[in-house]
Amino acid sequence: MNITSQEQAFLDRNQLPSTYLDIANQWFFPLVKSISDNFNPNNAPKIIGINGCQGSGKSTLADYLCTIVADRLGVTTVSLSLDDFYLTKAERIDLGSTVHPLLETRGVPGTHDVQLAMDCIQSLVKGQKTVITRFDKSIDDRASFDSLETIEGKVGLIVLEGWCLGAKPEPLEQLTQPINSLEEQDDRDGIWRNYVNNAIQSDYQALFNLADELIMLQAPSFDTVFHWRLEQEQKMIKRLEKEGMDNRSGVMNEQQIRRFINYFQRVTENILSEMPSRADHLFKLGKTRQITNYSQPSAN
């Protein structure tokens, strides 16, 4: 197949072989076509949300959609990650000391600056000069201001991805019993998990509702998350080595990753249980992240 310069740049950014494009064009190109066919330059930019657990391919899909749509339509597209709107390290330390120690660790709802995310998206929608906040996981803090990208003018497509994007709160009775060792040992009174659940129910719904359509990359089970998250960390290490960056204070080893994913288990399992029936686009994944099925549940 002939690969355009934009497609090659996409492959290079994501450390992917050219064969990824064959898979992407098979499964995801219909989304690109739908966006392109319904594009009206006089309308507000389309906003697509992507949900998927750690390592499921959310950021890669977001980049693919933005790259191909920009190439086809000649419009500005923006890929955003919910991860980029984490509270700063200082803010999370303060949250950990005033509410619950587990909130010092980035990840769960309640550790993002939701208003900052909404302000960013609304500024892009209006075509205003917008600084795109980024989070540097290698240092567990926001990237320096002078390294950030600024976008100004008309935007055609905004893609927002996140592991908890579109999540719904759990019924309160389900929060009573801990579901893993982290909750059992470090959240015996349930303060942390109730705080997270309340955050999902309140602030986050307004952000999630900005998306016109919701894509879900459905993992086969929560058990696959550890392996995918480990691969993600190893990929980040290779990128840091390539860029010659020595500061890796935010990089986790295998043992740290096992503990880290316990933070996400409750919300992830609730998502895997209830979201598939309401997603606009549902891609079921196998254990090696291969797509096994595509459907449009919300259309039924």
| Distance in angstroms (rounded) separating the CA atoms of residues 196 and 103 | 9
pLDDT higher at 47 or 235: 47
Q: Of residues 151 and 227, which shows the higher confidence score?
A: 151
Of 162-171, 222-231, 239-248, least confident by mean pLDDT is 239-248
Q: Which residue has the higher pLDDT, 54 or 122?
A: 122
Given a cut of 90, whether residue 271 has pLDDT beyond it is yes
What was the pLDDT predicted at 238? 66
**183 has pLDDT over 90:** yes
- Which candidate, 117, 124, 7, 132, places its Cα nearest to that of 63? 7
Q: Give the pLDDT score at 299.
A: 83
**What is the rounded average pLDDT for all residues in the chain?**
92
Which tens digits make up the pLDDT trace of 21-38?
Answer: 999 999 998 899 999 999
Q: Is the pLDDT of residue 127 over 80?
A: yes
Across 245-251, average pLDDT: 55
Distance CA(14)–CA(49), nearest Å, equals 20
With a CB cutoff of 8 Å and minimum separation 6, the contacts of 138 are: 236, 240, 245, 247, 248, 249, 250, 251
Q: If you average pLDDT over residues 282-289, what whole number do you get?
A: 94
Among 4-13, 242-251, 271-280, which stretch is predicted with the lowest mean pLDDT? Answer: 242-251
pLDDT tens column, 78-102 = 999 999 999 999 999 999 999 999 9
- Residue 69: its pLDDT value, please? 95
The amino acid that residue 130 corresponds to is T
Percent pLDDT > 70 in the chain is 94
Interstrand relation of 135-136 and 46-52 (parallel, antiparallel or unpaired): unpaired
pLDDT on residue 240: 62
| Nearest in space to 46 (alpha carbons), one of 66, 26, 24 | 66
At 236, the pLDDT band (50, 70, 90 cuts) reads: low
pLDDT tens per residue, range 48-73? 999 999 889 999 999 999 999 999 99
pLDDT of 250 higher than 70:
no
Beta carbons within 8 Å of 196's beta carbon, 6+ residues apart: 108, 109, 110, 266, 267
User: Which domains, from first to last, does the chain contain?
Assistant: 5-84+155-299 (3.40.50)
